[in-house]
Amino acid sequence: MATKKSVGSLKEADLKGKRVFVRVDLNVPLDDNFNITDDTRIRAAVPTIKYLIGNAAKVILSSHLGRPKGVTPKYSLKPLVPRLSELLGLEVKMANDCIGEEVEKLVAGLPEGGVILLENVRFYKEEEKNEPEFAKKLASLADLYVNDAFGTAHRAHASTEGVAKYLKPSVAGFLMQKLILLSYLKLLWIFSSSILEWVLFVSYLHELDYLVGAVSNPKKPFAAIVGGSKVSSKIGVIESLLEKVDVLLLGGGMIFTFYKAQGLAVGSSLVEEDKLDLATSLLEKAKAKGVSLLLPSDVVIADKFSPDANSKIVPASEIPDGWMGLDIGPDSIKTFSEALDTTKTIIWNGPMGVFEFEKFAAGTEAIAKKLAELGDKGVTTIIGGGDSVAAVEKVGLAEKMSHISTGGGASLELLEGKPLPGVLALNDA
Ligand SMILES: Nc1ncnc2c1ncn2[C@@H]1O[C@H](COP(=O)(O)OP(=O)(O)O)[C@@H](O)[C@H]1O
Ligand SMILES: O=C(OP(=O)(O)O)[C@H](O)COP(=O)(O)O
């Protein structure tokens, strides 16, 4: 990092009349009627966009939503336009595509201070493959590049990484700038011999100190809670978490791969078959390291993936064929709560269950309440991830947490010490 500082930051860029390609992470949760159930990520993108509008730039917003395979109306970004327009105080224009002639015409007609939102960039498979020709097409729409998509900073995709090669300057937005400062602070912590320098720096940037503390010097015991459904993306992170944490609680869709690796039946629960060996080795590693790795002892199972499914609570070892685990059970909530009672720092990514369905929300809500209660007692609590933050917002406890991060996988990879491609690609990184 910090190799090409001369090109400058967003504050130094000449913006008047310039077309700016802004990658944001607007991957927000939507319900079945396309209502936004949590707008945290939209709100987090607003300061950068408002700054660009205020400096007479022509703003071209790009984001993904979900993981579509090709053009899928369900994953259109259109439902976000009203909320985005409301937050920005102007009418955001929606493009029907993210590249091509029609988009070029829309961009050409953009007034200074105007904003268009491109359609879901993942409608093109070239996005995730980071294909140079696709990145060039995105780049051709603009004069400069701003990346403010912290939640997607761990992905080397065309709109998060590739495009930076063809658009100069390419700089961080304000949300991402926090991240770059964070990386700097990490190095400072490692190399600084002056505690005073460190204390001064951290107090100056106090909004970062929770994450910095968690990354470099957590108050111990340190616990991580990992759940959610992105098992293949996140199971690998557990290996490095085992180097850092004293307690590791697993929930959500993550657990069934571990159960299966132990020879338990998991019915039709979410399982990553090719991660069974990894799960076994993680259990062994936890034991060897003396990390208290807890899997739920009971689960709430359902006969279908639906809010009105029949449900029952069973021991983890008794999931029948045809049933799937959609939440952690009451005994597990109790055990997890007790394990958290003695900790001083907690980082949480991934809901404990399918909290979007009331029948399977109890585990996530109980853990959110536990963190809020511990936060009141001085424990540092950090929540990251689109759905995890949505869950905590849903129960009205976001304000109680020490730090809310828009990134789940990105925060975990940061904690792992991995360089994030979306940050490295920038001129000011
Ligand atoms: N047991 C489970 N089976 C399937 N999906 C689950 C399970 N538990 C939680 N989930 C789902 O995980 C999703 C969130 O996962 P993820 O994207 O990894 O979290 P985040 O967005 O916080 O990083 C939620 O939509 C939730 O419904
Ligand atoms: O929601 C996201 O990450 P998260 O679920 O880890 O918080 C980001 O938008 C990245 O999405 P991806 O994991 O489909 O690349």
Structural domains present in the chain:
5-172 (3.40.50.1260), 177-210 (no CATH), 218-414 (3.40.50.1260)
pLDDT of the chain, 429 residues: tens digit per residue:
333 344 468 999 999 999 999 999 999 999 999 999 999 999 999 999 999 999 999 999 999 999 999 999 999 999 999 999 999 999 999 999 999 999 999 999 999 999 999 999 999 999 999 999 999 999 999 999 999 999 999 999 999 999 999 998 999 999 888 766 665 555 445 444 344 444 444 433 443 445 555 556 788 999 999 999 999 989 988 998 899 899 999 999 999 999 999 999 999 999 999 999 999 999 999 999 999 999 999 999 999 999 999 999 999 999 999 999 999 999 999 999 999 999 999 999 999 999 999 999 999 999 999 999 999 999 989 899 999 999 999 999 999 998 888 999 988 887 777 788 988 888 754
Ligand 1 mean position, distance from CA 120 (Å): 21
Burial of 322 (0-12, 13-18, 19+ CB in 10 A): exposed
Whether the CB of 228 sits within 6 Å of ligand 1: yes
Collect contacts of 267-272 with beta carbons under 8 A, ≥24 apart. 267/301, 267/319, 267/320, 267/321, 267/322, 267/323, 267/324, 267/325, 268/321, 268/322, 268/323, 268/324, 269/301, 269/319, 269/324, 269/325, 270/229, 270/231, 270/324, 272/231, 272/232, 272/235
Of ligand 1's atoms, which has the minimum distance to the CA of residue 355? 27
Q: Rounded distance, CA 91 to CA 85, Å?
A: 5
Tell me whether residue 386 is one of the annotated catalytic residues.
Answer: yes
Report which ligand 2 atom has the smallest distance to the Cα of 67.
14
Cβ within 8 Å of residue 32, ≥6 positions away: none
Q: Is 218 in the pocket of ligand 1 (CB under 6 A)?
A: no
Residue 41: active-site member: yes
**Relative to the CA of 228, which ligand 2 atom is closest?**
5
pTM of the model: 0.91
312 and 301 Cβ atoms separated by less than 8 Å: yes
173 a catalytic residue: no
Q: Which residue among the candidates 384, 386, 407, 408 is catalytic per the annotation?
A: 386
CA 410 to ligand 2 center in whole angstroms: 8
Is the CB of 67 within 6 Å of ligand 2?
Answer: yes
* Nearest residue to 391 (alpha-carbon basis) of 374, 370, 412: 370
Q: Report the distance separating Cα 389 and Cα 338, nearest Å.
A: 23
Binding residue positions for substrate: 25-27, 64-67
Quick check: is 230 catalytic? Answer: yes
Catalytic one of 230, 244, 260, 275? 230
Nearest alpha carbon to residue 401 among 417, 388, 413: 388
